[in-house]
Each structure stands twice: as C-alpha cells, then as structure tokens.
C-alpha cells in the first residue's frame, strides 16, 4: 500500500527493459500510484492506454463513414447531420464524465476507493436517467430533428430511421462515456481501452454485413450501420459492467454499493452540471457550424462530415493525452501536491504540441490522400481536403489549450472552461464563420477559417487563465 492508502506496484523500474515492462503493465491494467515517481513516466503510462482508448472511440466514426460512403453523398450527409445531434448527447456524457473522473480521481488520491465506487454508482444512475427520455424523443421525432439541422425532405425521408436507431440507443453512448470516466479517474485506463476495442471490433464485423447484406441477412443500408454501431457499443458496456462487478480493480461495485446516495449524487451534479453546460456550449456551436455549412448544399455537408471524421480519428489520441493530465491533476490534488499537478500539465501540453504539430504537417501536405478512401465524388473530396488543410494551422496552439481546459476539469473547476467555451465558440466562432462564409462569400472555407481562429483563441485564453492558479484551491 502507498502512503495515501492506494494499491501500487513498484514505482520505477530502471533502464529500457524496465520502461517497456511498465508500458506493458500499463496496457495490461496493472494498478499504479500516479501521485509518486517521475511525472514524465506517469504521463507516459497513463497516456498510452488513454490514447489507444480514444483511437478506438474515433474508429467508430471512420469505419461507419468508410462503409456508408459506398451508399453515396446523401448517405454520408445523413450520418453527418445525425452526428451533429448525437454530439449533444456526447456533450452531456463528456461533461458528466469529467465530473465523475474528477471525483473518482480525488477519492483515489485521498486513499478512499470505497467512496470512489460509491461515486461510480451515482454517475451511472444519473446517466441512465438522462439517456432514457432522450432516446424516446429521438425515436419519436427523428425526422423533425433532421429537418432542424438542415436536412432536405429527401434526406429526411431516407435517413430518419438511421437517426431514430442511433438516438434511441443513446444509453449505450452515455454508459460507455461514464464507466470509462470511472476507469480513468481510478487510474485504470486500460479497462476503458479494452471496452472500446470490443465495441469497435463488433462494429467493424457487423457494418459490412448489415449494410450490404450477406447470405440470408438482407442489405439494410443506412439502418444496418446504425444497428451495427449500437450493438457494438452495447457489448462494450456489457464488458464494462462485468469489470465493475468483477472485484479485481480499484473500483468494485457489488450488491451493497447498488444504492443511490442523494448527497453524493447532488455533489456529482454540482461538479458536473457546469461541465455539462461547458460541453453543451461547444457542441451547440458545432450544430451551428453544421447549419452554416448546410447553406452550401449536401455536397458541402458530406465533405465536412468526412473531414470531421478524419480529424476526430487523429485528434482523439490528443484528447487521450489530455485525459492523462486531468487524472494526474485530480489524483495529485487529492494527495495534497498541487505543484506536481501543475508540472504534469505543462509537460503534457508540450508533448501534445509535438504530436499535433506532426498531425498538422500531414494535413497540410497530404489532405487529398487522407480523405480519398471515403468518397469518389471529387467535389466532396475537395471540400474535405480544404477543411483538413485550413483547420490544421491552429493545431500547435490548440495542443496547449486542449490540455489546460481538461486540467481545469480534472481539478473539478468546470466553471472556468465553461466561460472560455462560451466566449470562444459563441462570441467568436459562429459570428466569424457566418461573416466569412456568407457575407464575404467564402463558402465552406469561411467556416474552416473560423474554426482555426477560434481554436487558436482557446489556447491563448486557456493558458493565460491556467497560469493564475485558482484551480489549485478547488474543493470537490
């Protein structure tokens, strides 16, 4: 046992062989105390499974659009418009997950795994309560929701069932986010990674079978893609619940823990509430951007959808690095070491800058190559390539902004990034996108330029506020 009461393996193994042994242990899910030892190694060992987890999360979108792209630009546009609706659910899941990670990490840092398990149960209760009515509304009003985000009557007629299935099964999205947030807060990101491996493997196997048919299985088209994704996520959740009930990790949920505790639930909602608002602000702005792109036709929406799927696939590993910073901040604040928490953020931010700098070079030099597998329509590919090239110019700056915002959340200070998001996405990004694309007649390129400018602004504001240090005194 460590000095703070958490289970830990030996902290440092010297030499290259020792480092690789620890990396293998990280991927295998060996428990470790991240409040001690070299910070750089702690970041590496937390980041590797988190990066792999986020890569698996983004693989859903890439696989779906790869197969759906064979159905034509209209089908890709339906996926993109549905994604813009699903992002609202992502916002709630991510916001609640941030609060969950912060509270679980703080309890683990304090040496109270029982209270961490209690927090996990409350998070799942809140998640199910939120997702069930959303699913009902999604099934009943799928067509109306598609029209709301700019779908034509033809797209609505062909895509409403896809949207209904995706939104109706949103509980699987919510639980994937929340249980993985529990695992990350506990310092067990390998479990989150495995859950998404399972979900993605099932999705990749089912997608071509259900979309195009195989033997006695009929071709279901877009509906097949929705069913494959929902089933894949559902089986990932089954694995997560099995691990929570298995009793072999830091977070153990048995029959005795299956009790809702109003005081803990209210504390979680207080910490997460502003975080949910934070991500709803950024997600609703994404809806606004899609709506502006939709002014330029279904080809523009299809190109933007492809570009976003490629961007998310590449950037979610960067979010994995940011999640490592959030976990380290939460656990080290819980252990009373704010200085170590701050050093972890700066080191993580620099690492993220190197990674996203390399991504930016690839997007500038090879945008056409990266988007070409997803469509045969040259105009769709041109829009997608423009998006990759333009947006990438902000990545070196955004690398630090992303990490500092997630560090605020890891400390339980969800209010600060909420105000930052409100300014960057609503005061700056949306008006700028409309002015550039419509008033200056730049078309979709105006939207892409606005994204690059706002991401750079996020970095400048986020780093400046982080340096003030008020997040160090947050009590949760």
In the prediction, which pLDDT does 163 show? Answer: 94
Residue 400 belongs to a domain = yes
The separation between the first and the last C-alpha atoms of the chain, rounded to the nearest angstrom, is 24
Residue 25 belongs to a domain = no
In the prediction, which pLDDT does 353 show? Answer: 93
In the prediction, which pLDDT does 135 show? Answer: 95
CB atoms within 10 A of CB 205: 13
Dihedral pair phi/psi, residue 2, rounded to 5°: -85, 175
Residue 29 belongs to a domain = no
**Residue 256 pLDDT exceeds 80:** no
Residue 28 belongs to a domain = no
pLDDT in tens, 358-387: 999 999 999 999 999 888 899 999 999 999
Tokens of residue 171, six digits: 């509980």
Residue 174 belongs to a domain = yes
**Residue 409 pLDDT exceeds 90:** no
Report residue 137's pLDDT band, with 50, 70 and 90 as the boundaries.
very high
Residue 333 belongs to a domain = yes
Percent of the chain whose pLDDT exceeds 70: 89
**Residue 219 pLDDT exceeds 50:** yes
In the prediction, which pLDDT does 11 show? Answer: 46
Report residue 9's pLDDT band, with 50, 70 and 90 as the boundaries.
very low
**Picking from 46-55, 169-178, 231-240, 271-280, which range would have the lowest pLDDT averaged per residue?**
46-55
In the prediction, which pLDDT does 476 show? Answer: 62
* CA–CA gap between residue 101 and residue 408 (Å, rounded): 12
CB atoms within 10 A of CB 261: 16
Domain extent, residue 46, equals 38-473
Please provide the DSSP assignment of 242-277 as one string: HHHHHS-SS----GGG----HHHHHHHHHHHHHHHH
Helix (H) or strand (E) holding 2: none
State the average pLDDT for the chain: 85
CB 111 within 8 A of CB 173: no
CB 308 within 8 A of CB 58: no
In the prediction, which pLDDT does 263 show? Answer: 87
* CA–CA gap between residue 442 and residue 437 (Å, rounded): 4
Residue 423 belongs to a domain = yes
pLDDT in tens, 169-185: 999 999 998 999 898 88
What is this structure's pTM?
A: 0.69
In the prediction, which pLDDT does 430 show? Answer: 94
* CA–CA gap between residue 332 and residue 34 (Å, rounded): 8
In the prediction, which pLDDT does 257 show? Answer: 77
In the prediction, which pLDDT does 146 show? Answer: 92
Residue 468 belongs to a domain = yes
Average pLDDT over residues 402-425: 87
* CA–CA gap between residue 290 and residue 286 (Å, rounded): 6
266-280, 298-312, 429-443: range with highest mean pLDDT? 429-443
Question: If we measure between CA atoms, which residue out of 108, 121, 130, 254 comes closest to residue 188?
Answer: 108
* CA–CA gap between residue 368 and residue 386 (Å, rounded): 9
Q: Enumerate the H helices of 73-188 as residue ranges.
A: 73-109, 113-140, 142-148, 153-168, 170-185
Total of domains in the chain: 1
């Amino acid at each position: 046992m460590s000095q703070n009461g958490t289970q830990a393996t030996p902290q440092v193994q010297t030499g290259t062989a020792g480092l690789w042994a620890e990396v293998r242990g990280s991927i295998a899910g060996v428990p470790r105390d991240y409040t001690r030892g070299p910070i750089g190694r702690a970041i590496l060992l937390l980041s590797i499974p988190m990066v792999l987890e986020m890569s698996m999360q983004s693989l859903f979108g890439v696989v779906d659009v790869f197969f759906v792209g064979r159905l034509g630009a209209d089908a890709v546009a339906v996926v993109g418009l549905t994604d813009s609706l699903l992002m609202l659910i992502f916002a709630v899941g991510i916001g609640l997950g941030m609060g969950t990670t912060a509270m679980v990490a703080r309890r683990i840092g304090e040496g109270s795994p029982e209270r961490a398990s209690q927090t996990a149960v409350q998070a799942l209760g809140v998640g199910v309560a939120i997702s069930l009515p959303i699913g009902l509304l999604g099934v009943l009003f799928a067509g109306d929701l598609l029209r709301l985000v700019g779908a034509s009557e033809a797209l609505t007629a062909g895509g409403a069932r896809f949207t209904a299935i995706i939104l109706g099964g949103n509980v699987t999205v919510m639980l994937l986010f929340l249980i993985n947030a529990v695992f990350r807060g506990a310092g067990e990101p390998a479990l989150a990674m495995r859950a998404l491996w399972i979900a993605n493997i099932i999705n990749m196997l089912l997608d071509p079978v259900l979309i195009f048919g195989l033997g006695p299985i009929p071709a279901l088209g877009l509906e097949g893609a929705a069913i494959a994704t929902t089933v894949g996520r559902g089986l990932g959740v089954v694995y997560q619940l099995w691990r929570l009930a298995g009793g072999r990790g830091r977070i153990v949920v048995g029959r005795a823990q299956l009790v809702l505790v109003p005081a803990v639930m209210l504390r979680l909602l207080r910490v997460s509430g502003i975080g949910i608002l934070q991500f709803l602000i950024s997600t609703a702005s994404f809806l606004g951007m899609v709506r502006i792109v939709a002014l330029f036709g279904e080809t523009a929406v299809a190109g933007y959808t492809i570009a976003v799927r490629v961007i998310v696939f590449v950037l979610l590993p960067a979010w994995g690095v940011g999640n490592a910073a959030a976990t380290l901040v939460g656990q080290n604040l819980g252990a009373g070491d704010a200085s170590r928490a701050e050093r972890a953020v700066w080191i993580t931010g620099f690492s993220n800058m190197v990674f996203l700098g390399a991504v930016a070079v690839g997007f500038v030099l090879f945008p056409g190559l990266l988007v070409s597998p997803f469509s045969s329509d040259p105009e769709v590919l041109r829009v997608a390539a423009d998006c990759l090239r333009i947006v990438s110019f902000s990545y070196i700056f955004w690398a630090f902004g992303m990490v500092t915002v997630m560090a605020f959340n890891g400390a339980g200070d969800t209010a600060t990034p909420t105000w930052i998001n409100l300014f960057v996405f609503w005061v700056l990004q949306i008006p700028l996108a409309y002015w550039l694309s419509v008033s200056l007649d730049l078309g979709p390129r105006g939207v892409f330029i606005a994204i690059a400018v706002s991401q750079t602004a996020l970095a400048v504001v986020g780093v400046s506020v982080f340096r003030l240090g008020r997040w160090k005194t947050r009590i949760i």
